[in-house]
Amino acid sequence: MNTLFKQRAVQILTFGYLLGVSCYVWIYTTGLVDTLYNYLWGLVFLGVLPVLGGISGILISRNWGFLSSALGRAILFFSAGVAVWGVGGVIYSYYNIALAIEVPYPSIADLFFVLSIPFLIVGLINLGKGIGGGYKLRALRGKAIFAIIPLFIIATSYHYFTSVSGDGFASFTDASILEIVLDFLYSIQDALLITTIALIYGLSYRVFGGRFKQPINLLFVAFLFYYLTDFAYSYTVKQETYYVANWVDLLYLNTMFLISIGVNALDIQGITSRMRSELVMFAPRANEAINKLILEIIGRQASIMGLVAWDEAMKVPGLTIDMKNNNLSVEGDPKIVLGQLVGRYEGLFGNASLQICKDVARKFFSQLPQEQIPEILK
């Protein structure tokens, strides 16, 4: 996190965010409602800025293996969700500015807003795989958490409808078919989003850690903000108190900024394009048991974090990775080399990464002398 604000993309996003907050304060203090200034604020800060944040995150996902790893997919889908939401913001502003419609609902913009939530949910599921949420399912507590998901969804959806409508359950007397469909989609998807957040965080908060714990916590906070802000937007629209660049839109600005910053905080440096292409073609051989163990550990970690797993392995003294001859071997003390390799992975995502290494190592314990097994894996 210390080098986060040295990134050019983060600097641009932060400048845009601060400018957006400053302009909001001016709009609020001057009492502007449904003016061109309101609509331009929405276009720039709820349209263009999220699109830029999404594009930045999509580029970052390449360092984590893009679609080939769980974390690569998580970052990609998070970023795509933000970018798609931003496109919806641009279209919403078009209705405001070009068509002079103050609150366009339903509209084409809603199709993009609705589409952004599945992207975020898929990203959360992949993030859960990357930070060890699946391991807690083996325990009774984890199974109990998983079992209450349907009940949580039903309760949240019911509360959402009754609170927003203000008259008991939602009333659609004067609503069009499209509006009814969108109302249901928004409520159900928001319920799924908050449920997924609760599940992933509940199963993994004691497992994940390391260098990327803070960015992941920031993402969870951002997604919780997304849910609460969607609720606030729906409520103000139903109460006919919503207008562009009001306090709800400021919450949306905060939400999209937090997601973008959280994704950028997961950026990892050091893998050049040349090395990336060489690693994709790398298919190493290993003969001795210790080499096979190390190779399988790296392979399992690569399924979670992509080429970052290989980049970390190359930094371990005594571990020789010969990409030219497709060979991997331990040249130093096997116990020390193995311990340092596991330590590097643990430093990234804490106990989640360590658990993966332990699962792999158990299959090799009978093939290795006890003096070659570091304490961290026992």
161 and 287 in a single domain? The answer is no
Two structure tokens written together for 168: 């008991």
End residue of a domain, out of 214, 229, 264: 264
Which residues, 6 or more positions from 192, have their beta carbon under 8 angstroms from its beta carbon? 117, 121, 153
pLDDT for 116 equals: 95
State the Rg of the chain over Cα.
24
End residue of a domain, out of 237, 264, 291: 264
Is residue 205 helix, strand or coil? Answer: coil
Residue type (1 letter), 84 = V
| SS3 per residue for 47-81 | HHHHHHHHHHHHHHHHHHCHHHCHHHHHHHHHHHH
pLDDT for 363 equals: 85
pLDDT for 281 equals: 55
145 and 246 in a single domain? The answer is yes
Q: Is the Cβ–Cβ distance between 132 and 355 less than 8 Å?
A: yes
47 and 87 in a single domain? The answer is yes
82 and 213 in a single domain? The answer is yes
pLDDT for 200 equals: 82
pLDDT for 94 equals: 97
239 and 297 in a single domain? The answer is no
End residue of a domain, out of 210, 232, 264: 264
Two structure tokens written together for 219: 């993402």
> What's the domain range around 328?
273-377
330 forms beta bridges with 319
220 and 333 in a single domain? The answer is no
pLDDT for 267 equals: 85
List alpha helices for the chain, DSSP H.
8-30, 36-43, 49-61, 70-97, 108-130, 133-136, 140-147, 149-165, 177-204, 213-238, 247-264, 273-280, 289-305, 308-313, 334-349, 351-362
Residues of the chain with pLDDT under 50: 140, 142-143, 165-172
CA distance 218 to 368: 41
239 and 346 in a single domain? The answer is no
Residue type (1 letter), 285 = R
183 and 284 in a single domain? The answer is no
- Residue-wise pLDDT tens digits, 126-166: 998 888 665 555 554 544 555 565 566 556 655 555 555 44
Q: What's the number of domains the chain is made of?
A: 2
180 and 278 in a single domain? The answer is no
296 and 220 in a single domain? The answer is no
Helices 177-204, 108-130: axis angle to 10 degrees equals: 20
76 and 164 in a single domain? The answer is yes
Q: Is the Cβ–Cβ distance between 43 and 97 less than 8 Å?
A: yes
246 and 102 in a single domain? The answer is yes
